[in-house]
């Protein structure tokens, strides 16, 4: 029961994501930023890489994913009369969008010399912490119970569950996906290159090697996509919680002061 109550907090969702997709990430590289929980406060800090070139491994993986999906769409366009009716087309377009957004978000963070996003995070957390402290002074500790959001708690619990299950089940899911469907862009493109362009004849052995190569890359790419999406989503979830608490605290404190309360009521009336 205690674990479930913790999982309903956005700060716990960030810590779960950091634990599985940061500290215990199954591949030797890591993102150049991380969640750090220190004395009840969640920080986002840059992680110095041993070699600067390691900073570009995540966008490189995404770029290869975009290239494979784009090549798959091109080949599918040549071979298919109506590409819009093919499920693979829509899956690959969706993957291109996900990869492109991950590249944009990643480069936005690491190429910012002023680290504005990190500073805004710290400022928001600082404001939320002091506003909550002021609420406890004026209204007591019981008032903090009014700051809970059911919607954010549900989304946070789902995020924790997704992070844990995804970390464990991605290899199994990818194996099942590749064996039961034919919409893997990497295998589709490489199969077209080796069998139709080069014209190899030893199909079984080559297909087995291609399957191993594609399976390895797909696991790497899927973990990478999950890492980027979960980091971004959990961070957004925590920011929304801080914003919600600040608005709620402002409302509660305004209700305790007659003049401020009258101004607040007047503003709400005009709205």
Segments forming the whole domain that contains residue 22: 2-270
The most distant pair of C-alpha atoms in the chain lies apart, rounded to whole Å, by: 85
| Calpha distance 17→7 (Å, rounded) | 11
**DSSP secondary structure letters along 139-150:** H-GGGGGGG--H
What's the number of CA atoms in the CB half-sphere (13 Å) around residue 142?
1
Alpha-carbon distances of 93 from 84, 129, 149, 172, 215, rounded to whole Å: 11, 42, 35, 24, 20
Say how many C-beta atoms besides its own lie within 10 A of residue 8's C-beta: 20
Residue where the block lists tokens 């890492």: 227
Count of domains forming the chain: 1
| Calpha distance 231→227 (Å, rounded) | 6
Q: Which of 18, 20, 6, 8 is closest to 164 using CA atoms?
A: 20
Residue where the block lists tokens 């971004």: 232
Cα 12–chain centre separation = 15
Taking a C-beta distance cutoff of 8 angstroms, is the pair 251, 260 a contact? Answer: no
User: pLDDT under 70 in the chain at which residues?
Assistant: 1-5, 137, 139-146, 197-203, 253-271
At 2 the pLDDT is 45
| Calpha distance 5→145 (Å, rounded) | 13
| Calpha distance 37→4 (Å, rounded) | 19
Burial of 184 (0-12, 13-18, 19+ CB in 10 A): buried
pLDDT tens for each residue of 85-124: 888 889 999 999 988 988 888 888 777 777 788 888 888 8
């Amino acid at each position: 029961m205690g674990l479930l109550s913790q999982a309903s907090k956005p700060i716990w969702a960030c810590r779960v994501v950091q634990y599985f997709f940061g500290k215990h990430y199954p591949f030797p590289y890591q993102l150049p930023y991380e969640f750090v929980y220190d004395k009840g406060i969640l920080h986002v800090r840059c992680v110095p890489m041993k070699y600067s070139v390691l900073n570009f491994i995540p966008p490189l993986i995404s770029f290869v994913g975009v290239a494979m999906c784009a090549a798959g769409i091109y080949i599918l366009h040549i071979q298919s009369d109506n590409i819009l009716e093919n499920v693979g087309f829509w899956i690959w377009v969706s993957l291109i969008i996900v990869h492109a957004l991950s590249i944009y978000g990643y480069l936005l963070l690491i190429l910012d010399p002023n680290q504005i996003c990190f500073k805004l995070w710290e400022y928001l957390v600082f404001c939320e912490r002091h506003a909550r402290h002021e609420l406890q002074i004026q209204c007591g500790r019981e008032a903090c119970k009014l700051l809970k959001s059911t919607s954010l708690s549900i989304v946070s619990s789902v995020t924790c569950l997704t992070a844990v299950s995804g970390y464990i089940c991605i290899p199994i899911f990818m194996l099942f996906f590749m064996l039961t469907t034919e919409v893997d862009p990497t295998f589709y493109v490489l199969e077209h290159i080796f069998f139709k362009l080069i014209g190899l004849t030893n199909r079984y052995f080559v297909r087995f090697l291609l399957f191993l190569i594609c399976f390895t890359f797909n696991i790497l790419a899927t973990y990478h996509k999950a890492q980027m999406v979960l980091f971004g989503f959990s961070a957004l979830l925590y920011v929304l919680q801080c914003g919600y608490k600040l608005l709620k605290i402002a409302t509660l404190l305004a209700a305790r002061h007659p003049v401020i309360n009258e101004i607040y009521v007047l503003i709400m009336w005009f709205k």
